[in-house]
Chain A
Amino acid sequence: MTPDPMAAVGRRANELFSSYQRDIYKSTDRLFAGLMGFQWIAGIVFALWVSPLAWYGAVSRTHIHVWAAVVVGGVISLFPALLGLLRPGRPSTRYTIAVAQMLMGALLIHLSGGRLETHFHVFGSLAFLAFYRDWRVLIPATIVVALDHMLRGMFWPQSVYGVLVVSQWRWVEHAAWVAFEDVFLVVSCLRSVAEMRDTAERTATLEQEIRTRQQAEIDARNAWARNDGILDVALDCVVLMDESGRIVQFNPAAERTFGYAAAEAVGTPLDALIVPADQLGSHREGLARYLASGQTAVLNRRIELSAVRKGGETFPVEVAIAPISLEGSAMFAGYMRDITERRQAEAALAERMSLASLTAAVGLALTRSADSRTMLQHCAEALIQHLHGGLARIWTLDEHEPVLDLQASAGQYIGLDGPLLRVPVGRFTVGRIAAERRWRLDDAANVDPQIGDPDWVRRERMIAFAGYPLLLEGKLLGVMAIYADHALSPSALDAMAVVADGIALGIERKRAERELARYTRDLEQAHNTERQNAEQLAKLVDQLRVTQGQAEAATRAKSDFLASMSHELRTPLNAIILYSELLQEEADDQGRRGSIPDLQKIQSAGKHLLDLINGILDLSKIEAGKMTLSLERFEVRAMIDDLLDTVGPLIEQRSNVLTVNCGDEVGSMVADFMKTRQILLNLLSNAGKFTRDGAIALEVQRVTFSGRPCVRFSVTDTGVGMTPQQTDRIFDAFTQADVTTTRKYGGTGLGLAIVSRFCQLMGGSVSVESRPGHGSSFFVQLPLEVVDEGVEATRAAGVAGTA
């Protein structure tokens, strides 16, 4: 569609007009092409007829006019004739033809000797030229005629007027006649052109109208096809009905839904086909009211109604009816949808909701109720409320005899009636459920002879009965039962089974809670007793702690006492030893050798006392946790060489031979130099003390003990040896092999105890192998790199050592 149909029509009219003009120009050009040929031949014939021969005496020749007719006529007519045939329709062709036509007329006038009759050829030519309906071609034609008459009138009047002398204005007269005719011809041309334009415009308008009409028809056809298509595939039933209520159109969905073929349905009254009998009245009434007043409750709204299928089945439909106004009449379009499934889904949903509510309500009752009876009453009420039951009851099994006690009752039958208060297992339907431990559904409760109160069932029109044993792990706890005045759906029955399980659990839980409460009471009593015991224990522990603190304080006090005691003892001892040595030196100088042994005894006693003090002090330090390690790296071999200087004389005193085996591979170790030295000193001096005329060996090796590198010192002697009983106690303080040893061999009895404590302090160990009479071997193992484990560890070692 063009945006402006009027402009399109105008354009089309111009187009048509131009085409008409072009056609007329072309056909007229062709007409003149023929006319030219004809005039040429006619001119020759005319010349031959009028003056065939020219006589010169008796001699005659062909008259010059004949030649003129042939040659001049040919010259004038051939070119325009060719133009008319080869280039028709062009303005130049038209004007050339107009000029040639008038020249041809001039020739004919000449050939006729200027006879007046031939002048009429001019008028005819002009009339022919008017065929062009183009008044402008008359202008050159008229000018040619006027000029021809004027010039020939002046110079050759015989040729044009047939007289020798002529008035000088005669051409004007002729030209005037021509002009006179021109006036009519021009008017005629203009009118003809106007008509032609009018025709073109009318034609264009007509064409436009035809086109519009055709398009409208196509649109209408498409619309119908589209509507039919839509109706064919529509999921909704679409039924068109006329004013009289007859079906006009019945789409495939309607065919499927209602069961009628469209061919059957169309023409049948709608109400007779699909409206249920009980709605016929309102249907007809509504239709009549609409037709009368244009008002109805049904139109243009979605409403839910019932409809009837072929075969009589009634089903729910959703209906929308729209009136379609036609000229002079009305139609109704009914859109209908079968909502059976939707209704079913809604009903199922509603049921699921109420079953979920039931489960929730029961769950709430089971968890929130304070005591068993309230809990069961709430459960029974939930069954009534959410299953729309008539009566719901719950019994529990007596703990001592096979009787069901009614615990809860909800619904229309509120009273707790006699025989059903306590139902023996096996009696009535309820008792049978308990005995069989199987749930029971009775769709015809009203005719069941086993029912406890058949009068009530009939009176209240109860239809369904469902009863469930309350079981927990196979143990019967009670029975739950419900009456309903409607059938119970499978999902309602399933829900009730779940509820029954829940109630069984709830009953058991309540029972367990009671038990638990009892246990809790017992436990609290036990707990109280326990607490009293614990308090006593705590008191004891506190006392123990105090005692321990006192013991530790005492240990510290002892240690402090020993420390100051040691100081007090050392000062005089210092003087004693120095003086005894001084006196020995002086006695020696002065030759008083007799007093020397006595002085040596004083010195020796003083040194023994000092050793004793030092030993006690060392043990005391260890016990008090005050012994610290002073770790350094030293060469083991150098340490031993230094040691031998001190210990050598002691060993040699009793004619013993000392051998030392310490290879260079032993290298250096990290330990407390002084304590390591002390350990070896004590062991070697011990060996020397208990061996006479024997051999003492010191061996040093690197070994791996418990996965870490150690240095192993072995001190072996061939001395007196010890019994196993003696070796067991050898590392305890103040212990020598026997009580006489000190007397016999001297020593403080602290040396090995100190060795043992020092070894522990440095993370090492000492052991002994000995047999009486076969000497002893002491083995000391110290880590190659001793780690100071701190005062606490040291203290622990010390305490362990004294234990």
Chain B
Amino acid sequence: MTAGLGATIMVVDDNEPSRDALSRRLERRGYRILTAVDGQQAVATGQAALPDLILMDLGLPGIDGWEATRQLKAAGATRHIPIIVLSAHAMTNDRDLALAAGANDFDTKPVRFEQLLGKIDMLLKGVEVR
């Protein structure tokens, strides 16, 4: 996928296998990957490295995914970075909460990879998907 070439995506997930599998699959598609294992790290890395897009898990230790999303969207430097929230909570109103926190899109885990790629592509092109 040429669209992903050169773009940097930060994968935030406390679950190592999930983080690893998703990161590797994205790398195979030509994206550069940053990772973060909790909310605090996600905010710090995000502000330091300024990735082109962030995939944010919600159930994180310490600062959770909503709070991290809020902080990133509140800071001037990172405000513009698109964030797709990924949640394993299919039952709660995570989607609404994530969008309220400032996330640009939402998807459930397990990830339907092709669908996710489509959303990433759109957001990187500057199209709001929601």
Interface residues of chain A, those whose CB is within 8 Å of chain B, are 559, 562-563, 566-567, 570-579, 581-582, 585, 606, 610, 614, 617, 620-621, 626
What distance in Å separates the Cβ of B5 from its nearest Cβ neighbour in chain A?
17
Judge whether B25 and A563 touch: CB under 8 Å. Answer: no
Most-contacted residue by chain A among B18, B92, B113 (CB, 10 A) = B18
Judge whether B88 and A577 touch: CB under 8 Å. Answer: no
A579: nearest chain-B partner, CB-CB: B21
What distance in Å separates the Cβ of A214 from its nearest Cβ neighbour in chain B?
128
List B contacts of A575 (CB < 8 A).
15, 17-18, 21
Assembly CA distance A571 to B57 (angstroms) = 11
A570: nearest chain-B partner, CB-CB: B88
B88: nearest chain-A partner, CB-CB: A570
List A contacts of B109 (CB < 8 A).
570-571, 573-574
B24 within 8 A of A: yes
List A contacts of B80 (CB < 8 A).
none
Given A570-B90, A578-B111, A617-B91, 9 more A-B residue pairs with CB atoms under 8 Å apart are A562-B91, A563-B91, A563-B92, A567-B90, A573-B109, A576-B110, A579-B21, A581-B113, A606-B110
Assembly CA distance A617 to B108 (angstroms) = 13
Interface residues of chain B, those whose CB is within 8 Å of chain A, are 15, 17-18, 21-22, 24-25, 28, 59, 88-92, 108-111, 113
Assembly CA distance A582 to B25 (angstroms) = 6
Q: Which of B28, B59, B92, B111 is within 8 Å of A574, CB to CB?
A: B111
A624: nearest chain-B partner, CB-CB: B91
Assembly CA distance A564 to B89 (angstroms) = 8
Judge whether A582 and B111 touch: CB under 8 Å. Answer: no
What distance in Å separates the Cβ of B17 from its nearest Cβ neighbour in chain A?
4
Q: Which of B15, B18, B25, B89 is within 8 Å of A581, CB to CB?
A: B25
A614: nearest chain-B partner, CB-CB: B90
Contacts known (A563-B92, A566-B91, A617-B90); A577 close to B110, Cβ less than 8 A: yes
Judge whether B59 and A567 touch: CB under 8 Å. Answer: yes
Judge whether B21 and A578 touch: CB under 8 Å. Answer: yes
The 10 closest A-B pairs by CB, nearest first: A578-B21, A575-B17, A563-B91, A574-B110, A570-B88, A574-B109, A567-B88, A577-B110, A579-B21, A573-B110
Secondary structure type dominating chain A contacts: helix
What distance in Å separates the Cβ of B57 from its nearest Cβ neighbour in chain A?
9
A572: nearest chain-B partner, CB-CB: B17
Most-contacted residue by chain A among B22, B88, B111 (CB, 10 A) = B88
Contacts known (A567-B59, A579-B17, A606-B110); A574 close to B88, Cβ less than 8 A: yes
13 A/B residue pairs, CB under 8 Å, sorted by A:
A559-B91, A562-B91, A566-B88, A567-B88, A571-B109, A574-B88, A574-B111, A577-B110, A582-B21, A582-B24, A585-B28, A617-B91, A621-B91
Judge whether B89 and A578 touch: CB under 8 Å. Answer: no
Judge whether B110 and A610 touch: CB under 8 Å. Answer: yes
Judge whether A578 and B110 touch: CB under 8 Å. Answer: yes
What distance in Å separates the Cβ of B19 from its nearest Cβ neighbour in chain A?
9
Assembly CA distance A573 to B88 (angstroms) = 10
List B contacts of A579 (CB < 8 A).
17, 21
What distance in Å separates the Cβ of A94 from its nearest Cβ neighbour in chain B?
146
Q: Which of A559, A562, A571, A578 is within 8 Å of B88, CB to CB?
A: A571
Assembly CA distance A375 to B113 (angstroms) = 101
A627: nearest chain-B partner, CB-CB: B91
List A contacts of B17 (CB < 8 A).
572, 575, 579
What distance in Å separates the Cβ of B12 from its nearest Cβ neighbour in chain A?
14
What distance in Å separates the Cβ of B99 from its nearest Cβ neighbour in chain A?
12
What distance in Å separates the Cβ of A55 from its nearest Cβ neighbour in chain B?
185
B22: nearest chain-A partner, CB-CB: A578
List B contacts of A570 (CB < 8 A).
88, 90, 108-110
A610: nearest chain-B partner, CB-CB: B110
Judge whether A578 and B28 touch: CB under 8 Å. Answer: no
What distance in Å separates the Cβ of B88 from its nearest Cβ neighbour in chain A?
4
What distance in Å separates the Cβ of B32 from its nearest Cβ neighbour in chain A?
18
What distance in Å separates the Cβ of B129 from its nearest Cβ neighbour in chain A?
14
What distance in Å separates the Cβ of A645 from its nearest Cβ neighbour in chain B?
11
Judge whether A574 and B18 touch: CB under 8 Å. Answer: yes
List B contacts of A573 (CB < 8 A).
109-110
List A contacts of B108 (CB < 8 A).
570
What distance in Å separates the Cβ of B84 from its nearest Cβ neighbour in chain A?
14
What distance in Å separates the Cβ of A578 from its nearest Cβ neighbour in chain B?
4
B57: nearest chain-A partner, CB-CB: A571
Judge whether B110 and A567 touch: CB under 8 Å. Answer: no
Assembly CA distance A626 to B92 (angstroms) = 9
List A contacts of B59 (CB < 8 A).
567
What distance in Å separates the Cβ of B112 from its nearest Cβ neighbour in chain A?
9
A607: nearest chain-B partner, CB-CB: B110
Assembly CA distance A620 to B59 (angstroms) = 22
What distance in Å separates the Cβ of A266 from its nearest Cβ neighbour in chain B?
126
List B contacts of A606 (CB < 8 A).
110
List B contacts of A562 (CB < 8 A).
91
Judge whether B25 and A571 touch: CB under 8 Å. Answer: no
What distance in Å separates the Cβ of B130 from its nearest Cβ neighbour in chain A?
12
Assembly CA distance A576 to B111 (angstroms) = 11
List B contacts of A566 (CB < 8 A).
88-91
What distance in Å separates the Cβ of B80 from its nearest Cβ neighbour in chain A?
28
B28: nearest chain-A partner, CB-CB: A585
Assembly CA distance A559 to B113 (angstroms) = 28
List A contacts of B91 (CB < 8 A).
559, 562-563, 566-567, 617, 620-621, 626
Assembly CA distance A614 to B88 (angstroms) = 11
A573: nearest chain-B partner, CB-CB: B110
Judge whether B89 and A567 touch: CB under 8 Å. Answer: yes
List B contacts of A567 (CB < 8 A).
59, 88-91
Assembly CA distance A573 to B91 (angstroms) = 16
